[in-house]
């Protein structure tokens, strides 16, 4: 029992971090971790005691569960209403005596959780995503990755290489966080002022907006592209945020915006900024994806 307790307290954060990056969903990551521990406790005590590295065993099992879920995710998302986006993460909040107050607080906020990065991960095959995340993000050797993916270490190396190409192809020079925060602040000001010209000046000419309402709340069903179209759409929607609080915050580790009404978050907005222009806006409105933002 002492060993089991140590496994739970010592590995849970790592498992949540791995599963969230593999699935892009905090709720799904929590389910994967629960299933992983259920499998651990389902083993006879003598089998658990024979496991040389409980942490490695748990990570392998959790990653395999994620791999299976990724294989069926495409079919599920074909039935999803509108565009599907990863769940955005809020800033860390500490509970009593520094304990994590929410599962989201167990996620380490770095470049591998920002919305732009997670969106690129969605374009990968399940095997590419698992190989890349385990090796490049969490530094697992390819021999261990191979045990998860069910392919040779050499094949997993090729999968990770292919994934890296996708990441590089989607990358662009990113300004410092302080510069990004200033651009987001100007976007907020121009949106509230219904200033179409200022909004256009902040947007790349080929900028894109993607919204995720999940069919539960109103949201764009298809991407909107073009600085003028986007600027006019936001200026027109300014009346909808009247009476709401629009505040700057950290969204998945980068400057973003949150829309609240009576203290309840109804929209979380993430940005991708290249140079000094906004190239992508991701607006998550699906309330099931905003639970960590409440309270």
Domains, the chain, ordered by start? 2-83+124-169 (1.20.140.160), 177-293 (3.10.450.50)
> Are 89 and 100 a contacting pair, CB within 8 Å?
no
pLDDT at 64: 97
| Residues 157-165, mean pLDDT to the nearest whole number | 96
Q: pLDDT of 87-130, one tens digit each?
A: 999 987 544 444 455 777 778 888 889 999 999 999 999 999 99
pLDDT at 169: 85
CA distance 149 to 124: 14
> Phi first, then psi: what are they for 280, rounded to 5°?
-140, 140
Q: pLDDT of 18-70, one tens digit each?
A: 999 999 999 999 999 999 999 998 999 899 889 888 889 999 999 999 999 99
Q: pLDDT of 230-262, one tens digit each?
A: 999 999 988 877 788 999 999 999 999 999 998
Q: Starting at the earlier edge strand, list the strands of the sheet with 277-284.
A: 224-225, 203-212, 277-284, 264-274, 254-261, 245-251
Distances (CA, A) of 35 to 27, 55, 126, 188: 13, 15, 19, 42
pLDDT at 33: 94
CA distance 58 to 40: 8
pLDDT at 6: 65
CA distance 250 to 14: 22
- The confidence band for 3, taking pLDDT boundaries of 50, 70 and 90, is low
Quickly count: other Cβ atoms within 10 Å of residue 265's Cβ: 22
| Residues 149-161, mean pLDDT to the nearest whole number | 97
């Amino acid at each position: 029992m002492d060993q089991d307790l140590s496994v739970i307290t010592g590995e849970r954060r790592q498992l949540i971090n791995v599963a969230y990056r593999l699935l892009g969903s905090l709720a799904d990551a929590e389910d994967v971790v629960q299933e992983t521990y259920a499998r651990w406790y389902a083993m006879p005590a003598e089998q658990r005691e024979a496991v040389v590295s409980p942490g490695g065993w748990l990570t392998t099992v959790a990653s395999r569960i994620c791999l299976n879920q990724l294989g069926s995710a495409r079919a599920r998302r074909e039935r999803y209403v509108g565009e599907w986006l990863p769940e955005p993460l809020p800033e860390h909040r500490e509970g009593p005596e520094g304990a994590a107050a929410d599962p989201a607080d167990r996620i380490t906020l770095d470049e591998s959780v920002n919305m732009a990065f997670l969106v690129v991960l969605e374009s990968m095959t399940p095997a590419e995503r698992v190989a890349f995340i385990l090796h490049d993000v969490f530094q697992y050797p390819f021999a261990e990755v191979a045990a998860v993916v069910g392919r040779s270490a050499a094949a997993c190396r090729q999968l990770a290489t292919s994934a890296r190409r996708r990441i590089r192809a989607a990358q662009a020079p990113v300004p410092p966080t302080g510069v990004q925060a200033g651009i987001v602040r100007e976007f907020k000001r121009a949106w509230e002022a219904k200033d179409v010209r200022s909004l256009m000046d902040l947007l790349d000419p080929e900028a894109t907006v993607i919204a995720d309402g999940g069919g539960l709340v109103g949201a764009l069903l298809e991407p909107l592209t073009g600085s003028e179209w986007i600027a006019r759409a936001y200026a027109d929607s300014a009346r909808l945020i009247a009476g709401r609080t629009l505040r700057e915050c950290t969204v998945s580790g980068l400057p973003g915006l949150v829309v609240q009404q009576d203290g309840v978050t109804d929209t979380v907005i993430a940005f991708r900024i290249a140079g000094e222009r906004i190239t992508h806006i991701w607006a998550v409105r699906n309330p099931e994806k905003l639970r960590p933002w409440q309270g």
